Structure 1
């Protein structure tokens, strides 16, 4: 696969002092769905806006198909853009909104009609062609905004929190629709969100941003199962952390000790030396209760509370004096004699306990 978009040593500062984006190097492949994920202020939207041409890098350059973009204004970059607030023209009908980018590009009336009719059909809006934005629901307006970004057939589409204003059910439906359009039209999509489940559902790769830096970039599965630091582990999915002391290295593992003396083997992810405090992380679904499997390691825990979520239960426990250690299990596996205050034995395979960041404070 060829690189379609390249960010090369991009730095962005608004005041000449604080860096919003710090030395960003990022390649987006042709046909890829890449999501920039991170909390507010992490640099993801600023990075997208620099690619769109609405912001200028302080340093570095952005290439599209190996050509520098810095001298091209936004409307000449041939990039589709979808925003959270739709940005539709209120005085224009749906069909007129969709025709607008084509009129700017001076297409003939016949071509404009053909392209508008095609995209209306594709996003199932043909019956609403003569309506105005104010006469439509939020979901319908977002569909129009999506159609307008696609109508002039750009190969690159940028989306900034496009589903943020929709309710959960509609958001999930639109996620599937965007993914289908991505595949059907062979688009390259760069998508910005702070919603981790959205990123995991839709993306080929996810770039996790924090404090202006990409913390990890990989497939959703890799980022979930193999986080490279505790920020990524905490931000993506549910995660348990245990503070431990590194006793010694043992092949691919560290032998570690919790505050109560419990010894645990943890898979080496980040380098650490003996005697250092280290953060151990494990996903709640990798933990068994009173049911150790062959080769697993066990730790004693005290039940704090249960949170019932229909088909599954989150059981919060205390392990070695550290509370809110979560176990996730089907509701049918919860025993009647498990009550807050009672003790249980938790177990897991050592490979699922990851030794991540060295703790310096």
Structure 2
């Protein structure tokens, strides 16, 4: 498959000293939905803005369809953009807002009318064509912004936190709308967010950024189930970390010792030597109460958090607090109380021995 976008050895610094983006190499294929995910200041938005043409790389080159972009201004890159603040023209009606990018590209009036009509229909706003942005809800304005980015039929659409201003229910609805449009139109989408669930829901691949570097890029399933660094495990979803000391590696698993002497087998990811500290990471939903898993350990209950359909039970293991277990309400045992000791268990393939570097 042909790469539509390629970042090659990209560096970006604003002060000549501290790089905001460090040695970025990333290929994006035609038709892919790739999300750049990370905390504030991690370099994800700067990377998107360099692709859009609003920022210039300090070093390296960005290619679109195998052509370098460094001499091409933003309006000539033929890229659709959707921002969090909508950026609609308040003095124009909705159909005039959609017609604007077509007028800039000197599309004739007949084609312009057809394209605007098709874009309005695509986002289900045909009845709102004569209204002004101030007469629409936030969700409707975001649909207009989306339609405006798509009306000139770009091959590539960039989205920077486009759903950040919407409430939870509307945001989840718009996530599916954008994903369906991506599939129907065969778009290539590069999407920036700090919302992990948004990234997991919508993407073909997720690039997790931290400190200007992609820590891991993979499918949502692999990012969640098989993080390769402690930062990724902690940043994506909920995660438990037990700090231990690497002892040895058998044919399949790494073996680490906790402070109380318990030996834990885990999938080896970090390149550890005996005596190194490792972070043993496991998702709360992979932890079982009782002895059903092959690794069994004693825990002390610290707290219950009731969340309607499930309970989060916070426990302490080997002197380490805040080890979380997710339990369906039907699995609760009302004889358990704060301070009680219980057995927890899991399968070793669900716990990963990662680097113990600070994050």
Give the secondary-structure state (helix, strand or coil) at the position aligned to 1:238.
Answer: coil
Aligned-partner Cα distance in 2 for 1:86–1:31: 24
2:230–2:357 contact (8 Å) kept in structure 1: no
Alignment of 1:282-293 (within 5 A): 282-293=282-293
Q: Give TM-score scaled by structure 1 length.
A: 0.98
Alignment of 1:191-210 (within 5 A): 191-210=191-210
Residue of structure 2 aligned with 1:317, choices 315, 318, 329: 315
2:28 matched residue in structure 1: 28
CA displacement at 1:119 relative to structure 2: 0.6
1:125 matched residue in structure 2: 125
CA displacement at 1:359 relative to structure 2: 4.5
CA displacement at 1:4 relative to structure 2: 0.6
Give the secondary-structure state (helix, strand or coil) at the position aligned to 2:99.
Answer: helix
1:355 matched residue in structure 2: 353
Aligned-partner Cα distance in 1 for 2:108–2:245: 71
Alignment of 1:286-305 (within 5 A): 286-293=286-293, 296-305=294-303
Aligned-partner Cα distance in 2 for 1:273–1:230: 17
CA displacement at 1:261 relative to structure 2: 0.8
Q: Give TM-score scaled by structure 2 length.
A: 0.99
CA displacement at 1:134 relative to structure 2: 0.8
2:151 matched residue in structure 1: 151
CA displacement at 1:292 relative to structure 2: 2.0
Aligned-partner Cα distance in 2 for 1:106–1:159: 25
Give the secondary-structure state (helix, strand or coil) at the position aligned to 2:90.
Answer: coil
Is residue 261 of structure 1 aligned with residue 261 of structure 2? Answer: yes
In structure 2, stretches of 5+ residues that fail to align are none
CA deviation profile, 1:113-157 (whole Å, cap 9, x unmatched): 110001101100011101111111110100000000000000100
Which stretches of structure 1, 4 residues or longer, exceed 6 Å deviation after superposition? Answer: none
In structure 1, stretches of 5+ residues that fail to align are none
Give the secondary-structure state (helix, strand or coil) at the position aligned to 1:111.
Answer: helix
1:4–1:29 contact (8 Å) kept in structure 2: yes
Greater alpha carbon shift after TM alignment, 303-312 vs 16-25: 303-312
- RMSD (Å), alpha carbons: 1.1
CA displacement at 1:360 relative to structure 2: 8.3
Structure 1 residues 360 and 230, CA, compared in 2 at 3 Å: closer, same or farther? closer
Is residue 306 of structure 1 aligned with residue 304 of structure 2? Answer: yes
1:167 matched residue in structure 2: 167
Aligned-partner Cα distance in 1 for 2:97–2:103: 10
Aligned-partner Cα distance in 2 for 1:328–1:29: 37
Alignment of 1:1-361 (within 5 A): 1-293=1-293, 296-359=294-357
Aligned-partner Cα distance in 2 for 1:67–1:209: 26
1:276–1:359 contact (8 Å) kept in structure 2: no
1:249–1:274 contact (8 Å) kept in structure 2: no
2:243–2:356 contact (8 Å) kept in structure 1: no
Aligned-partner Cα distance in 1 for 2:264–2:199: 33
CA displacement at 1:255 relative to structure 2: 1.5
Aligned-partner Cα distance in 1 for 2:175–2:114: 26
Greater alpha carbon shift after TM alignment, 5-14 vs 349-358: 349-358
